[in-house]
Amino acid sequence: MRALVGSRLFWFGAVVLVAAAVLPLWVSGYVLGLLTVAYYTAVFAMSWDLLFGFAGEVNFGPTFLIGLGAYTAGILDSQFSPDLSIWWCILAGAAAAVVGGVVLALPALRVSGPYFGLTTLVAVLMLQNFIVVFADLTGGEIGLPVPDVITIDAKLNYLIAFGFMLVAGGILFGLSRSAIGLILQASGQDAVQAGALGFNVSKHKLFAFAVSAFFSGLSGALMVFYLGTASVGTFVDIGVGVQVIIAAVLGGRRTVLGAAIGAVFLIVMGEGLRPLGELATLIVSVTALLVILFFPNGFLGMIRGGSRA
């Protein structure tokens, strides 16, 4: 029975993915652009879920990692273009996010409970301040225009984002289902027992943080070269982080894939309701709140729970 449900979900997912892959043949550049941003956001949310859903650590500052990746890539390009290929800039962005993430997590993982979350929150504020203060380098509050983009072809941009989401999602999902994912989950649920079973809990959590940082930073850097600009409001603001968190919880905690569904839903719904103006944000927030209150396991939980009953 469970296998059937599993396979039905699987086939449903496969159909959706194939449809998404051939979408550029059918829809306008406007829709493609919207989905491109949604796919990058999906990677943010999946990376966050690896940390929260599996390692059990609430990272209130996903935008610290995203912002590090985005701004490192953007600054390098604006300083060294055209001598430096944007692909090097993107890789450097991912690397900066990993380094920054590990530097943050090393001391932060020593403190327990809500303090880890608070540390990550402070990190976001620090990064935001840094960007504003060093405006010469970072573009400050106005934003940092980058001289290069990956391509101006909307279809190609869409396919790059889509492909990247598939690869990142595949790796993160595979990791969550691997032996390491199990150990992470055990550490997240009962760190004392995981230690008594011989697992170095800090090592595994640090690894999860590094992986999460890598994909967040990489996605942030790619998105900079899609948008052609880096700004605090898009990459660093606490509000952006909250949206990533809501996306992951909305889609279904501890599922990785649910986070992607949640992200696409949030971005598309937010845009679809844009004609309503300020009301749009309210409607999206209320919807998210209702889902979280009544279906704490998110969209994937709803589908699974429904099929089982």
Partner 1 sequence: MNDAPMLEVSGLTKRFGGLVAVKDLEFEIRPGEILGLIGPNGSGKSTVMKMIMGVVRPSSGSIKLDGVELAGLPAHKIARRGVGLVFQHSRPLNRQTVLENIKVALLPDSLLALFADRGVDGQARAIAERVGLGHLLDRKPPTLAFADLRRLELAKAVARHPKLVLVDEPFAGLTASEVGQFSTLIKEFRDDGRAVLLVDHNVKSVSALVDRVLALYLGERIAEGSAADVMQDETVRRVYLGGALTGSTRSRQFAADSAPVLTVETVSVLYGKAQALQGVSLYVHEGEFVSLVGLNGAGKTTLFNAICGLVPYSGAIRWGGTALDGRSPASIARGGIVQCPETRELFGDMSVRENLELGGDHLDTAERLERLDWLYDLFPILKGRQAQNARTLSGGEQQMLAIARALMMKPKLLILDEPTLGLAPVILETLSKALERLRRDSPITILLGEQNVTFALPHADRVYVLDHARIAWEGPPGRFEAEAAQHYL
Residues that bind partner 1 (CB under 8 A): 174-175, 178-180, 182-183, 185-186, 189-190, 192-201, 203-204, 207, 254
Residue 98 CB, shortest distance to partner 1, in Å, is 14
Token digits for 220?
């942030």
Distance CA 301, CA 130 (A): 40
Residue 198 CB, shortest distance to partner 1, in Å, is 4
Token digits for 175?
């990791």
Residue 127 CB, shortest distance to partner 1, in Å, is 27
Q: Residues with Cβ < 8 Å from 168, sequence gap 6 or more?
A: 43, 46, 47, 215, 218, 219
Cβ atoms of 240 and 289 within 8 Å: the answer is: no
**Closer by beta carbon to partner 1, 204 or else 217:** 204
**Closer by beta carbon to partner 1, 129 or else 178:** 178
**Longest CA span, the chain:** 61
Residue 174 CB, shortest distance to partner 1, in Å, is 8
Residue 301 CB, shortest distance to partner 1, in Å, is 11
Q: What is the DSSP string of 64-122?
A: HHHHHHHHHHHHHHHHHTTTS-HHHHHHHHHHHHHHHHHHHHHHHTTS-THHHHHHHHH
**Closer by beta carbon to partner 1, 183 or else 244:** 183
Task: Phi first, then psi: give them for residue 215, nearest 5 degrees.
Answer: -70, -35
Residue 209 CB, shortest distance to partner 1, in Å, is 12
Cβ atoms of 218 and 90 within 8 Å: the answer is: yes
Residue 25 CB, shortest distance to partner 1, in Å, is 37
**Closer by beta carbon to partner 1, 160 or else 211:** 211
**Closer by beta carbon to partner 1, 25 or else 308:** 308
Distance CA 223, CA 210 (A): 20
**Closer by beta carbon to partner 1, 32 or else 184:** 184
The single-letter DSSP state of residue 275 is G
Distance CA 207, CA 213 (A): 10
Distance CA 303, CA 297 (A): 10
Residue 65 CB, shortest distance to partner 1, in Å, is 19
Tokens 């809501």 found at? 246
Distance CA 60, CA 184 (A): 19
Token digits for 303?
């589908």
**Closer by beta carbon to partner 1, 202 or else 285:** 202
Element (H, E) at 145: strand 144-145
**Closer by beta carbon to partner 1, 4 or else 22:** 4
Token digits for 37?
């941003």
